[in-house]
Amino acid sequence: MPMTVVVVRDVADRYRGFLASIMPEVAPGVFVSPDLTRGVRERVWTVVSGWWDGWPGGSIVMTWRDDTAPGRLGLALLGLPRRELRELDGALLVRRD
């Protein structure tokens, strides 16, 4: 089970309350879990994404270890320009739309 990190900025209190019920908040807006399963991580993202449709604002970034992704880093974003991880000659690059 890989480490999962969620960073929120300028979001409604309900996001922070929900995340704090699952993961400790180690710094303002930074939630971590060293052993969040894939199923729980996907459910958390489904909940915050669903809320986002009704209460957009601020930003949410979720990252986790993904052995199939470039650099073995999974990335999900809300409220920021879409970003895509790419590997080029062994270096991890971020492509922004």
CATH number at residue 40: 3.30.70.240
pTM over 0.85? The answer is: no
Distance of CA 75 to the CA centre of its chain: 6
Separation CA 49–CA 35 (nearest Å): 21
Mean pLDDT by 10 residues, the chain (97 residues): 89 94 96 94 95 86 88 83 68 71
Domain tally, the chain: 1
66: nearest Cα among 47, 49, 42: 42
* pLDDT at residue 93, rounded to an integer: 73
**21: domain range?**
4-96
88: nearest Cα among 66, 68, 72, 71: 71
* pLDDT at residue 89, rounded to an integer: 74
